[in-house]
Amino acid sequence: MVAAGSAARLFILSGPTAVGKGTVVGSLCATFPGEFYLSVSATTRDPRPGEVDGQSYFFMTNPQFEQLIESGGLLEWARVHGKNYYGTPADPVDEALRQGKPVLLEIDLAGARQVKAKRPDAHTIFLKPPSWEELVRRLQGRGTESSEEQLLRLNTARTELAAATEFDEIVVNDEVPATTAQLAKIMGLR
Ligand code: 5GP
């Protein structure tokens, strides 16, 4: 349970591909501007159209990312879908927590497990689709991945869905406004 008015707390949002994490997080940022710190991850994947370096992600090369791992600058990192590196820069997270701001990490299952092991007080939230068929429909509908990439992501999604019970909370993302309200309640945002 989250204590009413709890401030400096680390929240982790995970969930399978195309479940709508980005949309829900965007909605949370728009509804509660400045009330929490949304971590900006580092990644070695290519930017998608419209993504801005330093806002969507810190886009970097493999050697740059490996340097960041070696220097201990990441709270967690993983190779997502067996391909690209993704990781959470540690300093901005700690700084926001020091300032008393709730922090939200939107990361994959492997990352969530690492953070929970390092920071057992982190509150983990799993975003679930209403059904498997709906997940497939959302992934195909957004059309940002090749069919080969879609298969890879759906494969990962099966493993992730099986791990949902490891999380402190499971939230079904049916309608974005309702999901946003549920997350805000969990994070103590008002
Ligand atoms: P996408 O390429 O669609 O932006 O993200 C792919 C996956 O990477 C998503 O499941 C997302 O949660 C995960 N991800 C994004 N940033 C991080 C991070 O910093 N660490 C980890 N472990 N996973 C991340």
28 within ligand 1 shell (Cβ under 6 A): no
Q: Do strands 42-43 and 84-89 pair parallel, antiparallel, or not at all (unpaired)?
A: antiparallel
Closest C-alpha among 137, 127, 138, 143 to residue 48: 143
Q: Give residue 6's pLDDT.
A: 46
Residue with the nearest Cα to atom 14 of ligand 1?
Answer: 107
Q: Give residue 8's pLDDT.
A: 58
78 within ligand 1 shell (Cβ under 6 A): yes
Structure tokens at 12: 């982790």
The whole-number average pLDDT for the span 32-59 is: 96
Q: Give residue 109's pLDDT.
A: 95
Closest C-alpha among 37, 40, 56 to residue 48: 56
Q: What is the pLDDT of residues 91-124, one digit of tens each?
A: 999 999 999 999 999 999 999 999 999 999 999 9
**Domains of the chain, CATH where assigned:** 9-36+102-189 (3.40.50.300), 40-100 (3.30.63.10)
Q: What is the pLDDT of residues 54-93, one digit of tens each?
A: 999 999 999 999 999 999 999 999 998 778 999 999 999 9
Q: What is the pLDDT of residues 162-172, one digit of tens each?
A: 999 999 999 99
Percent share of the chain, pLDDT over 70: 96
Q: Give phi and psi for 22, each to the nearest 5.
A: -60, -45
**Separation CA 146–CA 110 (nearest Å):** 24
Residue 148 has pLDDT above 90, yes or no: yes
**Separation CA 135–CA 123 (nearest Å):** 24
